[in-house]
Amino acid sequence: MTKMSHAEALVTAILDSMAADADVVLLGRPLGLGPQRMLMSRLTDRFEDRVYDPPVCEAGNAALGVGAAMAGIRPFVDLSTGSFSFLAFSQIINEAAVSNYMTAGKIPVPVTFHCLEGVRGGGAPQHSQNIHAFVWNTAGLEILAPSCPADMYGLTRAALASNNPTFIMNHAKLMAVEGDVPDDRAAIPIGKADIKRRGKDVTIVALSLMVGLALQAAEELAKEGIDVEVVDPRTLAPLDEETILASVARTGRLVVVDETNMQGSIASGIAGMVAERGFRSLKAAVQRVARPDTPVPFSAPMEAFLLPTHETIMAAVKRTLV
């Protein structure tokens, strides 16, 4: 194991992918505006001619990656702040995701999109969007949401090796968070959930930044004698429904946590899936933890008021035990 931050895991994965495949190119700088951005030199030092700095044009940059992928190379397209990726939705959703389908498999699109999404703190409405739920409604796109450096590394390697368009939803608040990354430097299969904590009383399904909060809630609840299992889907599409259903079959209770607002959230989608496919396992109503349906305000106390916390997750767990 090697301890590294999310940002370092991302850079290491891109570096290893570029070394493994000369067709991997980087369009943009995926490390944001924080101090982690200095890690970019590891990429530019070694692969100066394969790291490009596009103009400020999300649609043009996304189309560049999609067209290049149709022509057979593997671009990693950074869309910077997730909120800006709306400008590139036509390229992501209406070009990349449909090409393999509408050519009967003759023109796959091995492009990887990446953004720093979510409520980053003080971002105000236009820099705080969670976009994974918008994108989740797209058929033909693999959507990855890593919650720890090990998954960041393995899923990025998988994305850059996939023949499908992939979208890495990286949470802005995770970039500095550290964790252990296995030294085998292997890709993590797309479509496989991971049980982050074993437990027998209640299942929490959480993704991305919410996994850490769910684990914190589980530790607190353990002190009260409540044994929680935390399932991290890791990839939203394809979704590992079987691992979620098997966990609910063991616990009989489900809480789903998503940072985005409730309407059309992952929490809602997974709750619906379990209601249909796992109804006989359920001993209590499924609880959803997500933001109220508002934009995200700038002012810190208002922003904090809207966000899921380990306390709101604990309360939801207890509601399943009433």
Lookup: tokens for 275 = 């209601």
CA–CA dist 119, 258 (Å, integer):
12
- b/e per residue, 19-58, with b = 16+ CB within 10 A? eeeeebbbbbbbbbeeebeebbeebeeebeebbeebeeeb
Q: Is 66 in the site for other proteins (CB under 8 A)?
A: yes
* Using rule CB under 8 A, residue 23 touches other proteins: yes
Shortest gap between Cβ of 307 and other proteins (angstroms)? 34
Contacting range for other proteins; rule: CB under 8 A; set: 3-11, 52-60, 169-177, 305-313: 52-60
Question: What's the sign of the alpha-carbon dihedral 114, 120, 124, 130?
Answer: positive
Residues 256-285 that bind other proteins (CB under 8 A): none
Q: 127 catalytic, yes or no?
A: yes
Which is it for the CA torsion 160, 257, 291, 224, positive or negative? negative
Should residue 48 be labelled a site residue for other proteins when binding is judged by CB under 8 A?
A: no
Q: Does 91 bind other proteins (CB under 8 A)?
A: yes
**DSSP element (H, E) containing 302:** helix 300-306
| CB neighbourhood size of 281 (10 A) | 18
Q: Which of 19, 33, 38, 52 binds other proteins (CB under 8 A)?
A: 52
Q: What's the rounded Cα separation, in Å, for the pair 147 and 124?
A: 23
Which x/- pattern, by CB under 8 A, does the window 224-253 give for other proteins? Answer: --------------x---------------
Q: 6, 114, 127, 310: which is the annotated catalytic residue? A: 127
* Number of residues written out for the chain: 322
Closest CB to other proteins among residues 43, 64: 64
Query: Per CB under 8 A, does 69 bind other proteins?
Result: yes
- For other proteins (CB under 8 A), the number of binding residues is 45
Q: Where do contacts with other proteins occur on this chain (CB under 8 A)?
A: 23, 25, 52, 54-55, 57, 59-61, 63-73, 75, 90-91, 94-95, 98-110, 139-140, 142, 162-164, 238
**Active-site positions?**
127
